[in-house]
Amino acid sequence: MIAVISADFISSTAYSQELMQELLSRLKQEFSYIQNEFSSRPDFKIYRGDSFQGIVKKPSESLRIALILKTAINKVSEEKSDKGTSKKTAEVRMGIGIGTYDFKRKTISEANGQAFQFSGRTLDNLKAENRKTKLTTEDEAINKEFDASFYLLDTLTEKWSIASAEVVYYLLKGLKETEIADKLKISQPAVNQRKKAAGWDAIEKLLDRFEEVISQKFTDGK
């Protein structure tokens, strides 16, 4: 079994050329990081200019990877308002499909199988459902468990500030509060405050549960 993450930018036609270029540049950097840092060496590609897709051969890693990509996008998709504050100007929808890898090819665009079909159909349905993140597998019990959890995750991330999303980005990569403080040039208590505001404890619990359930149910890479 593998996981496939299919994603697109929401309302991308409204993005400036500069913003889109920055987003695509950031995604390429994150694709390289993910391939080097995760044991399954996930493979991601950008297509159609405003969408991307990736294969994760260890399905239990897929949610963490999806959130790293989401927060990486939130980190660059900002602009200054008249009051000097930052706001998100880009957002992404992600459909995660876990299933078989039936037609292996040299490029993602030519590959196919159950995981690709689940992921693609899930992404197509997200717009109509006004959702941003959803999981589909062949196991309906797992789908139902994480459908509610991902719905709550969407509600939580919708309320993130740029500052909170930035802290979550580094937490997802395993950095400690003191290390994040050094990177952002803020105090450790400020990092902790942003961490709480982002709902990190709940996100971490969801990640732990997801990794536990998915690793028990699905065999990696087969």
Average pLDDT, the chain: 88
Alpha carbons 75 and 24: distance in angstroms, whole number: 13
Q: Report pLDDT for 136.
A: 97
pLDDT surpassing 50 at residue 206: yes
Residue 188 has pLDDT above 50, yes or no: yes
Between CA 182 and CA 47 the distance in angstroms is 35
- Please state the rounded mean pLDDT for residues 171-179: 97
Would you call 190 exposed, middle or buried from its count of C-beta atoms within 10 A (0-12, 13-18, 19+)?
Answer: middle
* Residue ranges covered by each domain of the chain: 2-217
How many percent of the chain have pLDDT more than 90? 69
For 71, phi and psi rounded to 5 degrees?
-70, -30
pLDDT of residue 124: 93
Is the pLDDT assigned to residue 213 strictly greater than 80?
A: yes
The pLDDT confidence band at residue 105, using thresholds 50, 70 and 90, is low
**Do residues 187 and 193 make contact, with C-beta atoms less than 8 angstroms apart?**
no
pLDDT of residue 81: 41
Cβ-count burial 34-47 (b if 16+ within 10 Å, e if not)? beeebebebbbebe
pLDDT band at 14 (very low <50, low <70, confident <90, very high): confident
Mean pLDDT across 140-149: 95
Per-residue model confidence (pLDDT) at position 31: 96
What region, left, alpha or beta, does residue 73 occupy, with left being phi > 0 and alpha being psi -120 to 50 degrees?
A: alpha
pLDDT at 82: 43
pLDDT digits (tens, 9 = 90+) for 51-76: 999 999 999 999 999 999 999 998 87
What single DSSP character describes residue 50? Answer: T
Q: Could you count the other beta carbons within 10 Å of the beta carbon of residue 104? A: 11
The pLDDT of residue 110 is above 60: no
d(CA 116, CA 197): 35
Highest mean pLDDT among 12-16, 172-176, 216-220: 172-176
Q: Which residues is 135 bridged to in the sheet?
A: 96
- CB 73 within 8 Å of CB 90: yes
Mean pLDDT along residues 133-148: 95
Bigger pLDDT: 221 vs 34: 34
Q: Kindly give, in sequence order, each residue whose CB lies less than 8 Å from that of residue 215, ignoring residues fewer than 6 positions away.
A: 59, 60
pLDDT greater than 60 at residue 84:
no
Quote the distance between the C-alpha of residue 93 and its chain's center. 9
Q: pLDDT band for 90, please (50, 70, 90 cuts).
A: confident
Q: Which CATH architecture has domain 2-217?
A: 2-Layer Sandwich (3.30)
> Under a CB-based contact definition with an 8 Å cutoff, are residues 19 and 25 in contact?
no
The CA distance from 74 to 141, in Å, is 31
